[in-house]
Homo-oligomer: A and B are copies of this chain.
Amino acid sequence: MSEVARPTLSDALTERMLELIRTGGHRPGDRLPSTRELSQRFAVTTPTLREALRRLEATGAIELRHGSGIYVGAAIERLVLPNPNMREIHAAQLLELLDARILIEPPLAALAAEHAGSEELAALRQTLDEAARHLRGEDAELHDANMTFHRATARMAGNSVLHEVVDSLLTVHGPEQREILQIFDDRRRDHEEHLEILAAIEARDAARAEQRMRAHLADVKTVIEHRMQPPE
């Protein structure tokens, strides 16, 4: 046991890797030195280095691409992350997650209506066009387009921290959300509600965008509550 619990070396190495990225001015997507170079630079064995790299990989600070190398990860500058170990959300957590989205996403839709640039609006419209093409098709593709719609709306609000929060909630929420889509009526209604939100954002109507987002998420919650009830 003692070998694993010895924190100093692996902790110190993780710190040094983060420092290397920071002081090197590296940005997400930048390539870092190879494992061999890093082992030499830090004067550690490959297994010890790998522990530190796996740790940084698990939290999105680096990406290990097979046969290619080590890159700075997209999550390195994030404040908030989705828990990568979540495998299933239990019912109570799912309803709390929906309540969290109901608190956060509507004011972000209002801010999106105020701040969105024309390119962002065009991309948002395209996302719903994409969703429309998959309404009768694959769950996964419809789900992806719908999640892109919610993420993009949150991003357009212009607060990166709140965007990260919404992104994290949608990431852990994914599989359950997809299951909900399996009833066609809900897919259709979901889509129509998204179109209403988009219309309010395009019209720069902040109050309406907020109200439509809140009503939409309340509907999603109702569907989930309904599906949670045992069949009669």
Q: Which of A129-137, A165-173, A182-190, A206-214 contacts B (4 or more CB under 8 A)?
A: A165-173
Within the assembled complex, what's the spacing in Å between the Cα atoms of A56 and B97? 23
Once A99-B162, A161-B99, A165-B100 are accepted as A-B contacts, the answer to whether A4 and B85 lie under 8 Å apart by CB is: no
Encoded as 1 (CB less than 8 Å from any B CB) or 0, chain A from 1 to 24 comes to 111111100100000001000100
Structural contact, B54 and A160, CB atoms closer than 8 A: no
- Category for how many chain A residues contact B: 35 or more
Q: Which of A45-53, A119-127, A195-203 contacts B (4 or more CB under 8 A)?
A: A45-53
Task: Say which residue of B53, B96, B103, B160 sits within 8 Å of A4 (CB atoms).
Answer: B53
Structural contact, A85 and B61, CB atoms closer than 8 A: yes
Structural contact, A80 and B172, CB atoms closer than 8 A: yes
Q: Is the interface of A mostly helix, strand, loop or mixed?
A: helix
Does A222 have its Cβ within 8 Å of any Cβ on chain B? no
Which B residue sits closest to A63, measured CB to CB? B5
Within the assembled complex, what's the spacing in Å between the Cα atoms of A47 and B35? 16
Does A215 have its Cβ within 8 Å of any Cβ on chain B? no
Q: Which of A71-79, A142-150, A223-231 contacts B (4 or more CB under 8 A)?
A: A71-79
Within the assembled complex, what's the spacing in Å between the Cα atoms of A5 and B32? 13
Structural contact, B97 and A86, CB atoms closer than 8 A: no
- Chain B nearest CB: distance from A157 CB in Å? 10
**Known contacts A3-B35, A4-B35, A47-B47; 19 further A-B pairs (Cβ under 8 A):** A1-B35, A1-B70, A3-B50, A4-B49, A4-B50, A4-B64, A6-B66, A22-B87, A55-B58, A56-B85, A78-B83, A80-B80, A80-B83, A80-B169, A81-B81, A81-B82, A81-B83, A93-B161, A103-B104
